[in-house]
Each structure stands twice: as structure tokens, then as C-alpha cells.
Amino acid sequence: MKVGTILSGIELANEYKKKIREIVYETKEKGIPVPCLAAVLVGNDGGSEAYVKNQKRVCEKLGVEHKLISFDNDVTEEELLNTIDELNNDVNINGIIIQFPLPKHINAKHIIKKILPSKDVDGLTELNFARLYKGERCFTPCTSRAVLELINKTGINIEGKHAVVVGRSDIIGKPVALLLLRNNATVTICHSKTRDLIDICKNADILISCIGKPGIITKDYVKKGAIVIDVGTTRVDGKIRGDVDFEEVKEIASYITPVPGGVGSVTTTMLIMNTCDAFLYQEQKK
């Protein structure tokens, strides 16, 4: 059995970047505006600022327009809602992403609910989540889509496999579980209250960890030949570490994602791909 094959997020991202460039090229040939992503940023959270900066950098390289709308921390909820209304009504804006966290005086649920589902390229609105739950066409959260695409890249059929997801967040854990169910995996979701976590993980054909606890997944958690997807990113002593003890687990797993260079390398590209999908859908409706 093959072990230790590294699933490169960079390689997968490059494949999707090629698709995006083709969409942009065809759009320019038709003489219409290229796809446009609008990012709403409140305050000066370092992680959010870095993500927005990366969005802009990748968009520029691919020929996609990126519009940043920034606010100070004291912005009112009403101002944010009005801004989203404007973006919803702007035919040249195809995708909208809200950077989190938001200040405590802003109700994040109100902000998310305001985004048109057809422009919700981060897959956070209730309608998109309901469509994901029902197995219908929708936008899925970008990290979750990246996870599924990386698993598919192995060429191994997901159907019938036992997949264990460690983490139950609305942004990653739950959507990943639903995507796996859609692909006919048998899915177990684990969390902080799960008993016998090691034994459950040890039975997984596909193991996905997204809890942000560096190095928690050691070789004792992994069945030989399992696919291991590490979504965790925690800064430790100035370096980014994943949930998985990579050096240990790569000797057991058939496929494993590195950190950095794995899931995180695909996430921004999936966001831009979702924006292009939104653009194509909106153009069909015109």
C-alpha cells in the first residue's frame, strides 16, 4: 500500500487558476466586465487583513476585479447593512465576502442574512446552507470545498468510505461532513465532548481535522492507508502548525496534506472560483 503521498494544495490551486484565467479571457473577448469580488473589512484584525491582501493579490494575477470596502471598528450595523444592500444591487459585483470577526456590537447573523444567496460566495447564508443540507446546487464555504477537492485529487472513490471529521464548526466541520455525505461516505463528526476519540479516528478511511490544536492528531489516531486532511492552522513560535503531527502520520497515511501548503493554499482560489461561478450564473440570468 502506498503511504506518505503529499497532497499539494498549491498544485490543486494552480489547476483552478487555469480555469479562472480561461473564464476571464472569454469574458474579455465578449467585451463585458470581468468577474468582481467585493470584500467587506471592519477594523484591523491581522488575520482578516492578511486574507484580504491575499485575495487582492491572487485576483490581480488572474485578471479578476477585487473591490475592498473598509470600515473602522465603530461602524454601525445599519451602515454595514446599507453597504451590503448597495453591493447586492450593483450588477458589476458578482460575489460578496464579509471578513470575520466583526466588532461585538455588530450582529454577524444579521449581516450574513442580508447578503443575496446568489452573491454569497463564502456559502454562509441560511439558504445556501439549507441547499447544501438538501444536496442542491449552492455555494459551499471555500475551505470545505478545498477539502473535498483535495480528497477527490487522490482518485480514491469516497463512496462507502468511513470519514471522520474532527470539529463541528459551521464554516468547516459541518459543511465538510455534508459534502462527504453527498458523496455517499459514512460520516462521523467528533468534537470536544466526544468519548474514545482515538478509537473513532483509528477507524477512519478519511480523517479530517479542523479544531486548531497543533499536533493533536498523532500516529495513534490514524489507520494505516487513511487519507488525512489537516485543516488546522495555529501559529506556534512564529510558525504555522497544523492539527496533525505531519512527520509521524506521513509514515502511516496513504495521502496527507501539509501545513502550510495544503488546504489553506486552495481556499483563496476556491473563493475566486466561487466568484466566477456566481458571475457565470448571473450572466445566464440576464
Instruction: Cite the annotated binding site by residue number.
Output: 167-169, 233
Percent of residues in the chain assigned helix, strand, coil, to nearest 5: 45, 15, 40
Q: Residues comprising the binding site for NADP(+)?
A: 167-169, 233
What CA–CA distance (Å, rounded) separates 74 from 100?
A: 15
Report phi then psi at 209, rounded to 5.
-115, 130
User: Among all chains, which residue has been given the C-alpha cell 466583526?
Assistant: 102
Q: Are 59 and 65 in contact (CB under 8 A)?
A: yes
Q: Is 156 strand, coil or helix?
A: coil
The size of the chain, in residues, is: 286
What CA–CA distance (Å, rounded) separates 128 from 134?
A: 10
Nearest to 275 by CA among 40, 65, 52, 28: 65
β-bridge partners, 107:
none
Nearest to 223 by CA among 239, 242, 243, 206: 206
Q: Within the chain, how many helices (H) and strands (E) appear?
A: 10, 11
Q: What is the DSSP string of 186-244?
A: EEEEE-TT-SSHHHHHHT-SEEEE-S--TT-B-GGG--TT-EEEE---EEETTEEE-SB
Single-letter residue type at 223: K
